[in-house]
Amino acid sequence: MARAYNFSAGPSMLPESVLAKAASEMLDYQGTGESVMEMSHRSKEYQAIIDGCEALLREVMGIPDNYKVLFLQGGASSQFAMVPMNLMTGSGKADFVITGQWATKAYKEASRYGDCKAVASSKDKTFSYIPKLDPAEFRTDADYFHICLNNTIYGTVWHELPDTGSVPLVADVSSCILSEPIDVSRFGLLYAGAQKNMGPAGLTVVIVREDLVGKAMESTPTMFNYQTHVDNGSMFNTPPTYAIYICKLVLEWLKNEVGGLAGMKKINEKKAGLLYDFLDRSKLFKGTVAKEDRSLMNIPFVTGSDELDAKFVSEAKAAGFLNLKGHRSVGGMRASIYNAMPVEGVEKLVALMAKFEEANG
């Protein structure tokens, strides 16, 4: 059986060993006679899975003890509302940096709940860079300061975090969580949809400093209040049981086969380096992002001709390289090379691009 190289922005590839393990446990999870999918979330077997997943996430990311880990649903998009409902209750203000469509959506949704300010934006150049910040624009009484750490559509990443002083920094880490070490203590809250680096779609992870929980707006629905999920160990209602189980397997893979986040970073730098080096040398393909802001995870590129772009995407698809078409707002191509993309997948993509350049350059 030949597995394709899937360059999708998410859902994306999962490590083959994780899929194989899940397959081997599909019909009978460790002698229980049932699949994890069929298992009561109140069973002791399932409690061990969710506890194990949280313990591994804490270990792999080095999450300090004064942070809560929540396994929720609704995608990162729900957090665009949940964050303000729970956090924007002091001054009722929050500051945002507009680095792309997801950051814009977070800003617009939060604006329904309070006074939101865009302190900087890179919209003028199709979000192809991370804007310089003027700290004089930051509001020192804001309840939080929001960034999208890795911009999935545009392929930019914050290499340096803004210094927000005592204002909690909140980050959407959907497309970079687990890709390299991160100092969680720099943040008040991190959130991510799982479907890129953590597991299947349907699971949303929130990591929140405990002093930020318990301040939600009066009108906050029970399900949208972080306190509800803290008090109930993410089991107020039925959690996305199977997605959490796969996430646990992914974390075991990261810890035991990859060497944790330090090991993952080295591999991700190697993969991204292969593609960026090629783009910098190519006479046909060009990267679209400011060099100093390039992402390790999402790499957009163009030929400059819509016709050649389409030809490349279709030839790549026929050769087993899937989902290379760029987001409609950028055009061209985008290779999302998340954790589970093997180095070999990127090597082969670069070889394919070189061959295409020779034939079409």
Give the Å distances, CA to CA, from 232 to 71, 152, 348.
11, 32, 47
Kind plus residue range of the DSSP H or E element containing 269: helix 260-281
CA separation for the pair 16, 7 (Å, rounded): 15
Nearest alpha-carbon partner for 258 in 337, 335, 342, 177: 342
172 is catalytic: yes
Question: Closest distance between ligand PMP and the C-beta of residue 72, in Å?
Answer: 11
Establish whether 102 is an annotated binding residue. yes
Burial classification of residue 165, based on how many CB atoms lie within 10 Å of its CB (0-12 exposed, 13-18 middle, 19 or more buried): exposed
The residue (of 10 and 345) whose beta carbon lies closer to ligand PMP is 10
Residues forming contacts to ligand PMP in the complex (CB under 6 A) are: 9-10, 75-77, 102, 148, 152, 172, 174-175, 193
196 is catalytic: yes
| Dihedral angle over CA of 204, 91, 183, 211, nearest 10 | -80
CA separation for the pair 88, 211 (Å, rounded): 14
Question: Closest distance between ligand PMP and the C-beta of residue 197, in Å?
Answer: 11
The residue (of 76 and 167) whose beta carbon lies closer to ligand PMP is 76
The residue (of 184 and 354) whose beta carbon lies closer to ligand PMP is 184
Report which residue type is found at 289. Answer: V
The residue (of 9 and 284) whose beta carbon lies closer to ligand PMP is 9
CA separation for the pair 215, 211 (Å, rounded): 9
The residue (of 76 and 330) whose beta carbon lies closer to ligand PMP is 76
Question: Closest distance between ligand PMP and the C-beta of residue 75, in Å?
Answer: 3
Question: Closest distance between ligand PMP and the C-beta of residue 280, in Å?
Answer: 25
Establish whether 172 is an annotated binding residue. yes
Contact 75, 203 (CB under 8 A): no
For residue 280 the two structure tokens come to 């910098």
Catalytic-labelled residue, pool 68, 95, 143, 172:
172
Establish whether 195 is an annotated binding residue. yes
CA separation for the pair 253, 17 (Å, rounded): 8
- Can you tell me which residue has the tokens 């993309």? 341
Report which residue type is found at 310. Answer: A
Establish whether 227 is an annotated binding residue. no
For residue 17 the two structure tokens come to 């060993």
For residue 170 the two structure tokens come to 């909140």
Catalytic-labelled residue, pool 68, 196, 248, 325:
196
The residue (of 82 and 350) whose beta carbon lies closer to ligand PMP is 82
Contact 353, 278 (CB under 8 A): yes
Cβ atoms < 10 Å from Cβ of 270:
13
Contact 260, 60 (CB under 8 A): yes
Catalytic-labelled residue, pool 102, 143, 271, 293:
102
Residues of the binding site for pyridoxal 5'-phosphate: 76-77, 102, 152, 172, 195, 237-238
Q: Which residues are catalytic?
A: 102, 172, 196
Residues of the binding site for L-glutamate: 42
